Amino acid sequence: MARTVQIRTYTVRDGLLDEWVDRWQRLVVPLRRDLGFEIHGSWKDRARNQHVWVISYDGPGSFEEANAAYWASERRKTLGLDPGDYLVGEETREVEQTL
Question: What's the rounded Cα separation, in Å, for the pair 12 and 2?
Answer: 31
> Residue 67: in which H helix or E strand, if any?
helix 63-72
Mean pLDDT, each 10-residue run in order, the chain (99 residues): 87 98 98 96 98 94 93 95 97 90
> Residue 38: in which H helix or E strand, if any?
strand 37-45
Question: What's the rounded Cα separation, in Å, for the pair 74 and 68?
Answer: 12
In the chain, the domains with their CATH numbers are 4-95 (3.30.70.100)
- Nearest residue to 52 (alpha-carbon basis) of 98, 91, 4: 91
The confidence score (pLDDT) of residue 97 equals 82
Question: What's the rounded Cα separation, in Å, for the pair 35 and 29?
Answer: 10
**pTM of the model as a whole:** 0.92
